[in-house]
Structure 1
Amino acid sequence: MIVVTGANGHLGKAIIESLLQRLPSQRIVASVRDPAKASALAARGVEVRAGDFSNAASLKTAFANGEQVLIVSADKLGDEALRLHRTAIEAAREAGVGRILYTSHMGARLGSPFAPADQHAGTEADLAASGQAYTSLRHGFYAESCLHMIGDGLRAGELRVPEDGPVSWTARDDLAEADAAILAEPGKWDGLTPPLTASQALTMAEIAALASEVMGREIRHVTVTDSEWSQAKIAAGMPAIYAEMLLGTFRAARRGDFAATDPTLQTLLGRPPRTFRDVLVVFAARP
């Protein structure tokens, strides 16, 4: 049995969709906080179990008889994220799971200015110390996260961002497909995967130029100071903690933390990964 946590979320749901193209539904378990919201998966023969990272007992039940458990990283910050992941790791160990897989990040490193990357590194250390067989899926930075961060600027025609560096923005659905491929062929991946990335890393200036082509109008790129950018975000209503987290993206990108590209994702997909242009075309077509 393969247990996928967070199966009602964008990534978890996409992973299960890809698994269903590879394996019988009877081999797949969806672990979700609210099973009522996963009725569509249940109707397709996927077993749905209640599992909450804040409830160790529920996870132990959700992970029962799991040959592999995929822990989709929690959408939390700081010590809370680390604590939730530790709870899931321990529950998997107590349930006798054969292998734990975890959705990490290509930029995972302790002390990273991008807080989630520091957290991912902490969870990878917990996995290594757990005594369990594990695979840490080092995802490329989601292209969708980039558009969430700068989409308003692209639509307004002016991309005002701090100094940055190249980032290999990667389509989330491609990563879900790759995760499913790894789950469907256990034993090939142990420890940290290579960076699972698209084939090109882009700067914000290059994104502005590319968006100008795709959207058919000029998108200006303007570099602002870190404080100017974060103050503008806070003034627009963003909580300071999230403004600081997103600012960390630029700070880490300057160091080259997200610049790597690697052919592993293409190998897993059996085709070239989607490009950032591909993602932009879909973005531009939305009303």
Structure 2
Amino acid sequence: MIIVTGATGQLGRRIVEGLLTRVSADQVGVSVRDPQKAQAFADQGVRVRQGSFTDTAGLAHAFEGASQVLIVSVDKMGEECVAQHRAAIEGAVAAGARRILYTSQMGAGDASHFQACRDHAATEEALRACGVPFTSLRNGFYAASAARFLDQALESGRIVLPADGPVSWTAHADLADATAAILADEGCFDGPTPPLTAGQALTFDDIAGMATEITGRAMTRVTASDDQFREQLLGRGVPAEAAGQLLGIFAASRAGEFAAVDPTLGTLLGREPLTLDAVLREHLAKDRAEG
């Protein structure tokens, strides 16, 4: 049985939906913190069990009978994040999984400027040491993050952010589809994958141009110093630690950590990955519909 964690989240839900187009529902199980939120999967015949990376004993039940376990990385950073990932790896090993898969990120490395990438590197080291074959999915930077940064600029027409570098913004939908394909073809990647990215690496100067074209309103890219941006964040009530982590994204992009473009994602999908322009158009159309 293929077990997917985090199956009610933005990425995990899409992965399970893609997997169900490739294998029968009785071959799929999900481990979720709140089983009620996964009722739609249960109705399709997916095995739904409660599981939390903070409850090792509970994971034994959630992962029971696993042939593969996909660990969807938690939305945290730092020591707590890596500890939860290690608990999930130990749970998968204890369940007898033949392969463990993990949603990592392009740029994962001990020396990264971005805390999340250092956390991914630590998790990958735990995977190497666990004694079970593993696949680490080096996902491109989520295009949804670019859309969220843009949201803050729609009223003012000014995209005020620190200096950045090119980023291979990649759609959740494409990464989920590719992950489902990899799960359905066990062993097609061993160890870290190549970067799973869209076809272009773009800066916020590029994004400002796209937003201008999409909205019909001039969007100006304004570069703030790191200190200015930190003060803006703190002034909006963002905790100091979170502000530092956010600034790490820009430092990492300036260092070229997210600039790689690789054809592997397109090969897995059998088509060109979605462009950032397409993602932004869908996002802005949804905002207008909800507004």
TM-score range, shorter chain: over 0.9
TM-score in terms of structure 1 length: 0.98
> Match for 1:251: what amino acid?
A
Alpha-carbon RMSD across the aligned residues, in angstroms, is 0.9
> Match for 2:238: what amino acid?
M
Q: C-alpha distance in 1, partners of 2:154/2:250?
A: 17
Which range is displaced more, 152-161 or 190-199?
152-161
Instruction: State the partner residue of 1:126.
Output: 126
Could you tell me which runs of 5 or more consecutive residues in structure 2 were left unpaired when the two chains were aligned: none
Q: C-alpha distance in 2, partners of 1:19/1:95?
A: 21
Q: C-alpha distance in 1, partners of 2:241/2:207?
A: 26
Question: Is the aligned partner of 1:44 residue 2:76?
Answer: no
How far residue 249 of structure 1 moved from its aligned partner, in angstroms, is 0.5
CA 1:128 to 1:185, structure 2 compared with 1: closer, same or farther past 3 Å? same
Could you tell me which runs of 5 or more consecutive residues in structure 1 were left unpaired when the two chains were aligned: none
Q: C-alpha distance in 2, partners of 1:234/1:185?
A: 46
Question: Is the aligned partner of 1:149 residue 2:124?
Answer: no
Instruction: State the partner residue of 2:162.
Output: 162
Which range is displaced more, 154-163 or 119-128?
154-163
Q: C-alpha distance in 1, partners of 2:238/2:147?
A: 16
Q: C-alpha distance in 2, partners of 1:257/1:205?
A: 18
How far residue 272 of structure 1 moved from its aligned partner, in angstroms, is 0.6
How far residue 284 of structure 1 moved from its aligned partner, in angstroms, is 1.9
CA 1:110 to 1:277, structure 2 compared with 1: closer, same or farther past 3 Å? same
Q: C-alpha distance in 1, partners of 2:154/2:175?
A: 25
SS in 1 for 2:238: coil
> Match for 1:114: what amino acid?
F
How far residue 155 of structure 1 moved from its aligned partner, in angstroms, is 4.3
Question: Is the aligned partner of 1:76 residue 2:76?
Answer: yes
> Match for 1:84: what amino acid?
Q
Instruction: State the partner residue of 2:257.
Output: 257
Q: C-alpha distance in 2, partners of 1:194/1:187?
A: 15
Q: C-alpha distance in 1, partners of 2:162/2:76?
A: 24
Deviations 1:109-162 (A, max 9, x none): 113121101100110011011111000000000000222234212443100111
Instruction: State the partner residue of 1:96.
Output: 96
Instruction: State the partner residue of 1:216.
Output: 216
Instruction: State the partner residue of 2:192.
Output: 192
Q: C-alpha distance in 2, partners of 1:284/1:145?
A: 13
CA 1:124 to 1:155, structure 2 compared with 1: closer, same or farther past 3 Å? farther
Q: C-alpha distance in 1, partners of 2:6/2:179?
A: 14
Does the CA contact (< 8 Å) of 1:53 and 1:59 recur in 2?
yes
Q: C-alpha distance in 1, partners of 2:209/2:39?
A: 43
Does the CA contact (< 8 Å) of 1:154 and 1:208 recur in 2?
no
Q: C-alpha distance in 2, partners of 1:155/1:5?
A: 37
SS in 2 for 1:153: coil
Deviations 1:38-75 (A, max 9, x none): 11110011110111000001111111111100000011
Instruction: State the partner residue of 2:109.
Output: 109
Aligned pair count reads 287
SS in 2 for 1:222: strand
Deviations 1:244-266 (A, max 9, x none): 11110100000000000000000
Question: Is the aligned partner of 1:229 residue 2:229?
Answer: yes
Deviations 1:3-43 (A, max 9, x none): 00001111111000001111100000011011122111100
SS in 2 for 1:262: coil
SS in 1 for 2:152: helix
SS in 2 for 1:248: helix
Q: C-alpha distance in 2, partners of 1:113/1:256?
A: 10
Instruction: State the partner residue of 2:27.
Output: 27
TM-score in terms of structure 2 length: 0.97
How far residue 2 of structure 1 moved from its aligned partner, in angstroms, is 0.3
Q: C-alpha distance in 2, partners of 1:174/1:155?
A: 30
Question: Is the aligned partner of 1:207 residue 2:207?
Answer: yes
Deviations 1:202-240 (A, max 9, x none): 011111011111111100011110010111011012222
Deviations 1:64-88 (A, max 9, x none): 1111000000111100000000001
Q: C-alpha distance in 2, partners of 1:18/1:118?
A: 29
